[in-house]
Structure 1
Amino acid sequence: MNEAKASTGSVVALSATVVIWAFSWIVMKVVLRYAGPFDFSALRYSIGAVLLFVVLVALRRPLAPPPIVGTLVTGLAQTAAFQGLGQFALISGGAGHVVLLAYAMPFWAVLFAWAFLGERPLRRHWIGLALAAVGLTCVIAPWNGLGNPLSTGIALVSGACWALGTVTSKHMFQRHRPDPLTFTAWQMAFGAAALGVVALLVPQRSIEWSPTFIAGLAYSVLLATCLAWTLWLLVVRKLPTAVVSVSSLAVPVISVLMAWAILHETPTPGEWLGMAFIVAGLFAVSGMGNKKSL
């Protein structure tokens, strides 16, 4: 009974994370009109890390950092590199293509987890990955060109960095069992420090502290950063890497639908077809209908 409740809770946490992150791409598209990408990312994660440490103190949770190497690698990979490179790719590439290329993360994560964690993919995982691959291909439509090759490459590398961070997080929980909130705060602090250095070195436009920017920053810090990353690490600890990583493909699908409803960006027929394949892949990899899947 407790195991079933834990699995249900993990699925709910994963669903909440997906929705929060999906909307965050809409918020980010608006917010970046008022600030440079690296300044915004550094500010977002610096404030987020500080708030998490305040919460740790208030809840009397452990403040000592988890094993430094694993925490540092996770922070540099899934906070600094994924966010920084993703934002940088948006400078010269279309937002839709960048998001979808970055969210090729599951393909990297399944391979990394197999290589480093010994999590051999099941048949349904391969089927789900294959369906999702077809879906991403339809949405990206490489036969129409991928736009700026540099942007395309950077977006793909950002997804690989996120996958690496996901696998190192899983390894940390398996081997050291750190407190999830403490681990989130420290890896975010390391990532924010790296982003801060980049922000100082790369020339950008000055931040315009408009109400829209402040509201977007608040959403990004409180929900998309503090809450969502904590939920993400909780889910990574509880569920198989393949299930977690492929489920993240729901983020770009929901983002496209939100952009259609909010920003009036109508999906193309190829995008509709691609999203159908991605949803089919999600059903396959989640093993819905199989009580032993989780």
Structure 2
Amino acid sequence: MRSRETTLAFASIFLLALIWGYNWVVMKVALQDSAPLLFAALRVLFSAPILLLFLLLQKRSLALPPLRYILPYGLLQSTGFVGATLLALEYAGAGKTAILVYMMPIWLMLFAWPVLGERLHGLQIPALLLALIGLLIILEPWKAESAPWQGPFFAILSGISWAASAIWHKRYVPQGQDLINATFWQASIGGVVLLFGALLLEGWRVHWTAPFVAALAYNAIPGTALAYVLWLFALRHLPSGVAGIATLLAPLIGVFAAWLQLGEQPDIWEGIGMAGIFSALFLVSWQHLQPKEHSTALPAQE
């Protein structure tokens, strides 16, 4: 039975990586019919009823967590992370954006040092150097006069916001707080703020085409509802470090899916930079497998 559950857990985590990885292409295609912040808001708000249904079916608490915890969490996780991700996709390719956003564990290490007292050690130090070198190569500052800055800027901001939300959750989450409950409320709060900002800055600029509706459905159902079920099942039957390494496939799938479907072929410098960042993320995840490793928990996201 244990072997069967382990096999299913590995299948779950790889399916999850496929869902999250391909979503970078899905979101990029959706932006043909919508302004970026508006799609970000609709994506988050459409996922909230799915999470609410999950809470009801599981008979979990619907109580609003303390505002001093859930309000900043929603602003960082949904408003900041998702909003900046879609702005990055508006200006840059899906594959490049995926790699830069997934630098989140690197920023998390840096924030956890002064905030949580988790000093850098072991493989984290070479991982940090590799990631920063890879980032520098992707940004190509020697071509700054011709390289657009908006896409990389918002992608890095997205990863930083994601990391900050994890730090906030780690430090201020109330004891016994249900993760799905917190996710529902932070998505609801962050999504409303995103919608207000989108209407203020962009207006209602959306075309309800079949690809756009399909993109929303993809984000709400497999991208959110199924993703959380797969993630929780995998974490129940696999060490967190193994699950973390497997989800590293998500940005790689994003890069190759964007290459195959959108024709976004990385140039030589982007390829070298992506390899450096991926190697850094692998080192960070590998360290999670070491015994007696106490690292900051990462909430599940794509």
TM-score, length-scaled by structure 1 = 0.80
User: What is the correspondence of 1:168-183 to structure 2 with a 5 Å cutoff?
Assistant: 168-172=168-172, 176-183=175-182
Secondary structure of 1:292's aligned partner: coil
- Mean alpha-carbon deviation: is it higher for 268-277 or for 222-231? 222-231
Question: CA shift at 1:94, angstroms?
Answer: 5.1
Confirm or deny: 8 A CA contact 2:103 2:277 kept in the other structure.
no
Taking a change above 3 Å as real, the CA distance of residues 26 and 228 of structure 1, as seen in their structure-2 partners, is: same
Q: Which runs of 5+ in 2 are unaligned?
A: 294-302
User: What is the correspondence of 1:1-294 to structure 2 with a 5 Å cutoff?
Assistant: 17-93=16-92, 95=94, 97-145=96-144, 147-172=147-172, 176-204=175-203, 206-228=205-227, 251-287=250-286, 291-292=290-291
Q: Output the amino acid matched with 2:108.
A: A
Q: Output the amino acid matched with 1:270.
A: W
> For the residues of structure 1 that align with 2:244 and 2:126, how far apart are their CA atoms?
14
Taking a change above 3 Å as real, the CA distance of residues 106 and 118 of structure 1, as seen in their structure-2 partners, is: same
Q: Output the amino acid matched with 2:211.
A: T
Confirm or deny: 8 A CA contact 2:84 2:154 kept in the other structure.
yes
Question: CA shift at 1:20, angstroms?
Answer: 2.6
> For the residues of structure 2 that align with 1:157 and 1:114, how far apart are their CA atoms?
19
Confirm or deny: 8 A CA contact 1:253 1:275 kept in the other structure.
no
> For the residues of structure 2 that align with 1:238 and 1:69, how far apart are their CA atoms?
33
Taking a change above 3 Å as real, the CA distance of residues 247 and 171 of structure 1, as seen in their structure-2 partners, is: farther
> For the residues of structure 2 that align with 1:12 and 1:171, how far apart are their CA atoms?
32
> How large is the RMSD of aligned CA atoms in angstroms?
3.8
> For the residues of structure 2 that align with 1:197 and 1:46, how far apart are their CA atoms?
12
Question: CA shift at 1:199, angstroms?
Answer: 1.9
Secondary structure of 2:117's aligned partner: coil
> For the residues of structure 1 that align with 2:58 and 2:67, how far apart are their CA atoms?
23
Question: CA shift at 1:244, angstroms?
Answer: 8.9
Q: Which runs of 5+ in 1 are unaligned?
A: 1-5
Question: CA shift at 1:168, angstroms?
Answer: 1.6
> For the residues of structure 2 that align with 1:244 and 1:77, how far apart are their CA atoms?
24
Question: CA shift at 1:181, angstroms?
Answer: 1.1
Confirm or deny: 8 A CA contact 2:104 2:159 kept in the other structure.
yes
Question: CA shift at 1:156, angstroms?
Answer: 2.8
Question: CA shift at 1:291, angstroms?
Answer: 4.8
Q: Alignment length, in residue pairs?
A: 290
Question: CA shift at 1:165, angstroms?
Answer: 0.6
